[in-house]
Structure 1
């Protein structure tokens, strides 16, 4: 069965849209025509996208539309219809139509969200609590603020990578141009030296010959490397590139702890049970890190206090544990996580500023070594030739 998002008009000229499952596009169009819809446009939805969690940007877009409309007093069914009309992404329109159909069939919004694997469990659980307490617009606003905050941090990390990636790419292009066009000019001068050539010079000459004589091998290799990089990016995201810059590892750890503390804050302030909040917060972290903090949830389930549970895991600092202890004793855990999040955010700003100051000199040093190697490989043979005369 294939999935389609469709738009069409009825006999009165009113525009309608919806989600439809059918074996083929022609069968889907015939079904819609029998229902009285004309001027049909259908878009096929990739089945794989239904099993992929939405990106932060996509979740933020949906939450923004729903929060804005519900806060204005629009009914949920109408809000979903308006959101479908505003959407430019056909897949998101398909999801919203499916959710609207589920609501019309008697399901709650949280049940409709949890039917699909595209929404994080955190969103579904918080909306479930919001529906039971009658605070849906307020909780949607909290979720929107949380995902907008995440998106802003991600954008800051990407901006941190932009400068070194652009400079390094320009350096690679200029280096290849020099190897392909300049090195052959020097090669004619070095013919008489033979094995006396500097080892780096011989390597550059061989590389230049290979690039000029067999470019198809290098093009094929570049395409394969590009495909591998795209695959790694889709699996791991861009954050693995942060390990290549100074302070990148500390930056990633700080970002993860910041998202963890912010997630715990909004879940506890909404009314999500502590054990459920711990389980959902774990899912926000990478798989390896989840295993390291899993003892926290297990310790709480066994009856230990949250302070004792966090003190068992080394990645949580003593200050983190102390603030959790204060929150437990005062009965305001969400406030403690909020203060921890604020501290993590300040720490993150310092790390990013420190990384920014180091990136440029480190990059210049690497480029200087590359230029030095090129100059030595080209001019040392000239000095040897001058000694002969």
Structure 2
């Protein structure tokens, strides 16, 4: 079957756009007419393929990716339909019809086409790695093998919803300080480049000796006027060079390791990565995926390259017959409480349960730490910005008061 993008008029005369699956353009038009729609435009979707290197399998690349919330919704819908006992191809078709975005609709129909061709569901998803990562595909493969695909999809949906919730929590915590910082920098920049020069210029013609604070303010203002654009340009170039250097694996590992050593911020990043590690490994372990294979998948979902390197090193220790506790303790990334819970899970045979509890504990610690950092950062930022504004006001008022005293004398 092929996938066709269409544009048609519905019974109310409104234009409808989307994608439909059919064996031929004629059949696609017939399906649209059965809905009471008038086809205006019909075009077969060409799958964009790119070959990375010779001998590598070609993979379809889509222009857009689904957000975590959208992917969680799709997964939850699939789990519900599979649990109801519907055939997988019908489930995929029903989910595609619920997708509002055309590119996701087309993607789900393409996955269904591969399933109808006889490919396993996990292999069909792996063709679209921009949307379905290794974790998703590995768990779906485990669900197909065990015959519990609905349970696996529900676990995946829970995992993605929790990840989306954590992202939202971080964004919500950082939103106000970011806005406050940007507004403060803009206000101070406008004051120093436009307002201060006009006010202070009045004192230059008076011939009086200006106070140190006023002279310093004038020098800063003159520097910003003369060199401000060059400073911004140099900053942008240095930022671009820094990002270019971070593409090198070695430099990226060193930088990410330095970030983990920062006070407070380093601890926040470390906890967020250990939460992701524990929760993801819990899902994989509960899905009967081998622990060594699961560690390799978990390493790929880490946001820190140094953490990824340490998890891969722990996986190698596991492959050599070491325990998970011993392998992870060498990295010094995990808290003693988490390590004790992992050891308890290994001894009792309930590793997935203990990892889930450990991730919940770390998640609570993460929330408390984020609240603490924001509660400290906000007043400190306000004090710094208030101090800068106070300095500007005093620097302007001092010569005014001096002139006033001279007039009174």
Range class of TM-score, shorter chain: 0.7 to 0.9
Deviation at 1:53, TM superposition (A): 7.0
Q: Partner of 2:363 in structure 1? A: 345
Shift of 1:159: 0.5
Greater mean deviation of Cα atoms: 180-189 or 113-122: 180-189
Instruction: Give the match for residue 305 of structure 2.
Output: 287
The structure-2 alpha-carbon separation of the partners of 1:208 and 1:350, relative to structure 1 and needing over 3 Å to count, comes to closer
Work out which of the residue numbers 142, 145, 164 in structure 2 matches 1:151: 164
What is the distance in 2 between the residues matched to 1:207 and 1:19?
64
115, 118, 136: which one aligns with 1:106: 118
CA deviation vs aligned residue, 1:267-298 (integer Å, no higher than 9, x gap): 11111111111111111112221112322101
Residue 298 (structure 1) aligned with residue 310 (structure 2): no
| Native 8 Å contact 1:183 1:204 kept in 2 | no
Give the 3-state SS of the residue equivalent to 1:174 in structure 2.
helix
Query: Could you say what secondary structure the match of 1:7 adopts?
Result: strand
2:150 aligned partner: 137
Unaligned segments of structure 1, at least 5 residues: 10-14, 21-30
Give the aligned partner of residue 41 of structure 2. Answer: 40
Structure 1 equivalent of residue 136 of structure 2? 123
Residue 273 (structure 1) aligned with residue 290 (structure 2): yes
Flag structure 2 segments of 5+ consecutive residues without an equivalent.
9-16, 30-38, 51-60
2:388 counterpart (352, 360, 370): 370
CA contact (8 A) 2:4 2:20 kept: yes
Instruction: State how 1:146-185 maps to structure 2 within 5 Å.
Output: 146-185=159-198
1:27 corresponds to which residue? none
Give me the TM-score of the superposition, normalised by structure 2. Answer: 0.75
For residues 96-144 of structure 1, what are the alpha-carbon distances to aligned partners after superposition, in whole Å with 9 as ceiling and x for unaligned? 1210110110112111011222211011010111011111111111000
Counterpart contact for 1:264–1:334, Cα < 8 Å: yes
Residue 261 (str. 1) matches residue 278 (str. 2): yes
> Shift of residue 356 of structure 1?
3.0
Contact 2:19/2:106 (8 A) holds in 1: no
Q: 1:247 to 1:223 in 2, by over 3 A?
A: closer
Question: Which residue among 175, 195, 202 is the counterpart of 2:218?
Answer: 202
Alignment of 1:225-236 (within 5 A): none
1:334 alignment counterpart? 352
TM-score, normalised to structure 1's length?
0.79
Q: How many positions carry a matched residue from both structures?
A: 360
Contact 1:187 1:205 in 2 (8 A): no
CA distance in 2, matches of 1:45, 1:202: 61
Aligned counterpart, 2:14: none
Change (3 A) 1:19 1:355: farther
Q: Does structure 1 retain, via aligned residues, the 8 Å contact 2:174–2:374?
A: no
Quick one: structure 1 residues 291 and 223, their matched pair in 2 at CA, closer, same or farther if it must change by over 3 Å? closer
Contact (CA 8 Å) 1:84, 1:97: kept in 2 or not?
A: yes
| Aligned residue number for residue 19 of structure 2 | 17
CA RMSD of aligned residues (A): 4.0
- Asked if the contact 2:299/2:312 (under 8 Å) is kept, the reply is yes
Q: From the superposition, tell whether residues 171 and 222 of structure 1 become closer, same or farther in structure 2 (CA, over 3 Å).
A: farther
| Partner Cα separation in structure 2 for residue 338 and residue 8 of structure 1 | 47
Residue 80 in structure 1 maps to residue 98 in structure 2: no
